[in-house]
Amino acid sequence: MTNEILTGALVLITGFYAWATYKILKANERVVEVMHEQAEAVTRPYVTVSAVLESDNPIFYLRISNVGKTAAKDLKLSLDRPFYPFGKKKEDHNLAERFVFKNIITSFPAGSEIVFSLAQSFVIFGENADSGVVPSSFVVTAEYSYAGKRVMESNPIDLRPYLGASVPQDAYVRKLKAIIEAIERVASELKKKES
């Protein structure tokens, strides 16, 4: 009878160890999977598309950047509607027809950036603004590959939140302008004294 009890206890203990080992292996598999996902997230390309304003400049720009760590392969960009920079409706000015939106970019390296001028706010939001020429919102789609995966991302660009906002000011630019004006005044005074 003692042998049967010991055998039963040994079966229970072995069963518990098998179950615990299984749970540990499953947890380790998930840890490895999460580590792989995190490593991929850190090293993959990220193609971002955004509207930007530069300091002391009233022109909107469309910026396409790879802010990731590796190249985006076979990048295909597309606009969902025509956009004519500065409101000049000529077919050769249509942003949607530019090379970058009609052709595949074989490799778009990390840190790369493409910038297009759009228009000033008074052109986009003006009383006579034509949304078929300078839309205040549009979508740029980016499709690209990395590490055998294909990504498709839609990037809505909405300029309307900027309506009524001020152009960003840079204190250093203002100070540099003041220095330039002072230098020009000194140069002008020197020219007067030489004459």
Q: Which domain holds residue 20?
A: 1-43
Please give the mean pLDDT across all residues of the chain.
86
Residues 12 and 53 in one domain: no
Whether 178 is in a domain gets the answer no
Return the SS3 of 108: strand
Q: 161 pLDDT exceeds 80?
A: yes
Q: 6 pLDDT exceeds 90?
A: no
Q: 72 pLDDT exceeds 90?
A: yes
Short-list 82, 80, 95, 85, CA closest to 139: 80
Structure tokens at 103: 């052709």
Short-list 90, 89, 96, 87, CA closest to 119: 87
Determine which helix (DSSP H) or strand (DSSP E) holds 80, and give its type and residue range: none
The C-alpha angle with vertex 110 and arms to 108 and 113, in degrees rounded to 5, equals: 65
Whether 131 is in a domain gets the answer yes
Residues 84 and 120 in one domain: yes
Whether 34 is in a domain gets the answer yes
Whether 179 is in a domain gets the answer no
The Cα 25–Cα 15 span in angstroms is 15
Residues 1 and 83 in one domain: no
Whether 195 is in a domain gets the answer no
Residues 35 and 60 in one domain: no
What is the Cβ-side half-sphere exposure of residue 121, based on CA atoms within 13 angstroms? 17
Cβ(79)–Cβ(138) below 8 Å: yes
Residues 70 and 154 in one domain: yes
Residues 14 and 103 in one domain: no
Structure tokens at 125: 């939001």
Q: 56 pLDDT exceeds 80?
A: no
Report residue 13's pLDDT band, with 50, 70 and 90 as the boundaries: confident
Query: Which pLDDT score is estimated for 167?
Result: 67
Residues 66 and 16 in one domain: no
Residues 100 and 24 in one domain: no
184-193 long-range Cβ contacts below 8 angstroms, 24+ apart? none
Whether 184 is in a domain gets the answer no
Q: Which amino acid type is present at position 151?
A: V
Mean pLDDT computed over 41-58: 86
Whether 37 is in a domain gets the answer yes
Residues 60 and 87 in one domain: yes
pTM listed for this prediction: 0.71
Q: Which amino acid type is present at position 172?
A: Y
Report residue 1's pLDDT band, with 50, 70 and 90 as the boundaries: low
Q: Residues 123-132: pLDDT tens digits?
A: 998 888 888 9
